[in-house]
Chains A and B, each alone.
Chain A
């Protein structure tokens, strides 16, 4: 059996980001393995531990993505394949290139985060699946293997659903699926020696992006910051709050 996690390197949510000349500049930001992808990495390691086989990490991104890939290898993945490209390439175009890598790897199941913390996109997993002609399950919270199939629970807009899916298939992950482990010191040492194969995106036919980013600006909404002290007279504070929401904000 072989299991793949598609990962991305993204800025830490608590890290300051800045914009220079209409573009986000990540210089100085702490870059990490996307937290939503951690569930994917944990899942392939667990599957490998339970059923044997190989856990492989695959990524599309700039050279620096290797750092996030090393984190996944330190958690316990066996090896990595990194498709390298500098600059913005939209998720659907990335999916086309990643599908070529996956077709070659021929895994039984692929996992990736439900939403990327840099693009705020949810497209990657489903687009990879479509490019491969495989089924996909988004926002997976439970997963088990059943004779060439997977039984998975996943979230929809108004609840959840249990599905049976023919493998190979792509699953996007979220909190609840598992509890990602931390890399251990021996794991980190071992990860340094694990193989990361690099492929230039151009070799996989990527010649540009279907979507172009024209401008980025930091959005900080100005908040009113009207704070009422309700420690002594909670009922009066509640009354004042509701009055403000009704008369001033006009939202009630």
Chain B
């Protein structure tokens, strides 16, 4: 049995959940058994009704103790579900939260952890995966023994199609002392209602050359037009123009969208580490020697304050056509 932990926003399954199901099905074909799912937390009962179209059984962990996320709780729930399902492999999204609890789960299960994987497969009693390392500069092939915990890098895997109706089974998990040690005092949602940076297929990042916090309104407008997410460079975060959650780079988030716009971004190595696996990279910069142009598919040498408004108009025309 393979267990897939299915991320959701309280109403809908996230893309990461459906990427996880695809991976879990592939592993189940090689290792035998079926795919079970787990939904945890706020709104889990409702989401389970949607999740059961994808897996043979959905375990639901919910209730007042599970309204807020902590890594300790999610690891405990996943461990309980893995034991209930007799799962030898647990698949989860490699979101920031996913990567914080899967490490704990691997310790609980005494399992091999294959983290942030691009692909994964099984042969015999081993699981294999590919991932990036060395700031995204190296492609690495890894092998792990069973049991294993595998996290799936966002935007790497086809989304699963529904495959019949599974059953829903509530799972009672008691909080122990450890899980009570973290109390969430306040949640600050900075990208509420919009696509998350790590899952977005379009990312529009502004650099220091944008010149001001106000200039990011243009970036937001452009990102909204394309259904994308806004990113920012370290210099922009340091200047206090944008929140930390939007930082792309070595000390921020790693993104791998279909198309990445680097606007007024010079392209330091630390920034490249966060975006260099984007499928198509577009840059606008007034400095023709900016390092970002070496990493660019399509670039414009010019002033972003003149080029970006024109890009917005062109996209509006395109969408209107």
Q: How many A-B residue pairs have CB under 8 A?
A: 304
Which of A14, A238, A245 touches B310 (beta carbons < 8 Å)? A238
A116 to chain B, nearest CB (A): 9
Taking a contact as CB atoms under 8 Å apart, the answer to whether B104 and A136 are in contact is yes
Partner-binding segment picked from A40-48, A75-83, A101-109, A158-166: A158-166
Select which of B139, B143, B244 is within 8 A of A219 by beta carbon. B139
Q: In the assembled complex, how far is the CB of residue A39 from the closest CB belonging to chain B, in whole angstroms?
A: 8
Partner of A13, one of B71, B237, B270, B303: B270
Provided the pairs A158-B191, A227-B301 are in contact, do residues A120 and B133 lie with their beta carbons within 8 angstroms? yes
* B115 → chain A closest CB, angstroms: 6
Report if A138-B100 is in contact (Cβ < 8 Å); known contacts: A159-B188, A163-B185, A216-B139: yes
Interface positions, chain B 206-258, Cβ under 8 Å from A, are: 226, 234, 237, 243-245, 247, 250-252, 254, 258
Query: Are A251 and B301 in contact (CB-based, < 8 A)?
Result: no
Q: Are the CB atoms of B107 and A227 closer together than 8 Å?
A: no
Cα(A238)–Cα(B281), bound, Å: 15
Residues of A within 8 A of B276 (CB): 221
Report the interface size for chain A: residues with CB under 8 A from the other chain: 88
Contact A214 B143 (CB under 8 A): yes
Kindly state whether residue B97 has any CB partner on chain A within 8 Å: yes
Q: Mark out the residues of chain A between 99 and 156 whose CB falls within 8 Å of any chain B CB in the assembled complex.
A: 114-115, 117-127, 129-131, 133-139, 141, 151, 155-156
> Does A235 contact B184, Cβ atoms closer than 8 Å?
no
> Does B139 contact A217, Cβ atoms closer than 8 Å?
yes
Residues on the A chain within 8 Å of B315, using CB: 242, 252
**Are A234 and B259 closer than 8 Å at their CB atoms?**
no
B259 touches A251 (CB 8 A): yes
Name the CB-closest residue of B to A24. Answer: B138
Q: Which of A129, A139, A249 contacts B259 (CB 8 A)?
A: A249
A35 near B250: Cβ-Cβ < 8 Å:
yes
How would residues 83 to 105 of chain A score, 1 for a CB under 8 Å from any chain B CB and 0 otherwise? Answer: 00000001110011000000000
Contact B259 A165 (CB under 8 A): no
A210 touches B142 (CB 8 A): no
User: Within the assembled complex, what's the spacing in Å between the Cα atoms of A115 and B313?
Assistant: 39
Is there an interface contact between A161 and B190, defined as CB atoms closer than 8 Å? no
Tell me which residues across on chain B come within 8 A of A139, comparing CB atoms: 96
CA separation between A251 and B106, bound complex, in Å? 38
Q: Is the CB of A228 within 8 A of B299?
A: yes
**B280 A176 Cβ-Cβ under 8 A:** no
Q: Does A59 contact B (CB under 8 A)?
A: no
Among residues of A, the one whose C-beta sits closest to the C-beta of B96 is A157
CB <8 Å contact, B301 and A231: yes
Q: Which of B107, B133, B144, B188 contacts A119 (CB 8 A)?
A: B133
A234 touches B302 (CB 8 A): yes
Does residue B103 face the partner (Cβ distance < 8 Å to A)? yes
Contacts of A246 in B (CB 8 A): 318
Q: Which 4 A-B pairs have the closest CB atoms?
A: A230-B302, A238-B310, A123-B103, A234-B306
Q: Can you offer 23 A-B residue contacts whose CB atoms are under 8 A? A: A24-B134, A117-B250, A120-B116, A120-B134, A121-B116, A123-B103, A123-B113, A127-B113, A133-B178, A155-B96, A156-B97, A157-B198, A158-B191, A158-B245, A166-B181, A210-B145, A224-B296, A225-B296, A227-B293, A227-B300, A230-B306, A234-B303, A246-B318
